[in-house]
Amino acid sequence: MRIFSGVQPTGIFHIGDYLGALKQFVQLQEENHCLYCVVDLHAITLPTDPKVLKEHILDVAALYMAVGIDPKKQIIFVQSDVPYHSELAWILMCNTYTGELSRMTQYKDKSKGEESSPAGLFTYPVLMAADILLYDTDTVPVGNDQKQHIEITRDIAVRVNNKFPGTFVVPEGRFLKEGARIMSLDDPLTKMSKSSPNPFSRISLLDDEDTIRKAVKKATTDSFDNIAYDEKNRPAVSNLLTIYSVFSGMTIEKIVKLNEGKGYGAFKKDLGEVIITALRPIKERYEEIRNSEELVVCLRDGSERAYALAEKTMKRVKDNFGLGTVS
């Protein structure tokens, strides 16, 4: 199957991004053809500093490789290196209704209803549809927050196919399970996020060991005197148990058993070490490639391979729409 997913270059991933999305990307590469894209054109829908954006593009690309995505077998590339994304987005925009775009909850959240919000924020889902449809994608692994965007992608594809049969493959979303939602360390009722003002609410994949220990030590718990999993009544400790389990590969039952009679101090100490051990190879690999020629070569090669696939689809699309001089 053909897999496509994208992440905005807005900062270093945290363990929520890793456990919720990236780990899935790595698993999917075993049996599929995958394209993993750094969606820089999406990032400029909100104000960005060009120097910071450039750095974040390379950060994200290096992290894709550091977590284990193989750039020789799969395609890792930067969206704006393949100009067909913007071209297809225009064609799709002519087949998208303003009414359906104005119902997108992400647009409503981000534009805050202001007239001065950029039109790119409004048409964001159409560019995302272009990313996906350009590569005849079968499956799109994404977080639950992207459900509406996948739905509109499918609607656009079906609408175009009704006019011009056989233009697009209609993709399916592959959504994260609820269990894959990692919550903030300071507030177990909100999702761990890059944008939270409290740096101790999250653990970044590149945090140093002391910062990780400190963040885990500071993590909210509760006033019970045992370690137990109860998502409803004890969300903070349940979140820590989930993190422990996914990083160590041990079941939650086993971890609870290991911690019988122990307090939060000892449990958190172990958890800190489990996270540090799991992130160590990722950090090492990241540092090896982040400033290397290898990274640039891989991205160049990735965009060439993506370009070749996109070119084939665009030719078909333009032919079907009657665009251009010669077919």
Under the rule (CB under 6 A), what is the footprint of ligand AMP? Answer: 7-8, 16-17, 20-21, 142-143, 145, 176, 180-182, 191-192, 194
Interface residues for ligand TRP in 127-146 (CB under 6 A)? Answer: 128, 131-132, 140, 142, 146
Give how far the C-alpha of residue 172 lies from the chain's centroid of Cα atoms, to the nearest Å. Answer: 16
User: According to the 3-state scheme, what is the secondary structure of 214-237?
Assistant: HHHHHCCCCCCCCCCCECCCEHHH
CB of residue 114 vs ligand TRP: minimum separation in angstroms?
20
> At closest approach, how far in Å is the CB of 111 from ligand TRP?
15
Q: Which residues are catalytic?
A: 110, 191, 194
* Shortest CB 326 distance to ligand AMP, Å: 40
Does 63 sit near ligand TRP (CB under 6 A)? no
Is 313 one of the binding residues for ligand TRP (CB under 6 A)?
Answer: no
CB 198 within 8 A of CB 151: no
Closest CA to 22 of 246, 309, 291: 246
Q: Containing H/E element for 174?
A: strand 172-175
Sequence-distant (≥ 6) Cβ neighbours of residue 164 within 8 angstroms? 320, 321
Please tell me whether residue 239 binds ligand TRP under the rule CB under 6 A: no
Q: Report in angstroms how near the CB of residue 142 gets to ligand TRP at its nearest.
A: 5
Among ligand TRP, ligand AMP, none, the one that 59 touches (CB under a kind-dependent 5 to 8 A) is none
> For the purposes of burial, counting CB atoms within 10 Å of the CB of 269, is it exposed (0-12), middle (13-18) or buried (19 or more)?
middle
Q: Which is nearer to ligand TRP, 8 or 303 (CB)?
A: 8
Distance separating alpha carbons of residues 192 and 43, to the nearest angstrom: 20
Residues that bind ligand TRP (CB under 6 A): 4-6, 8, 39, 42, 128, 131-132, 140, 142, 146, 149
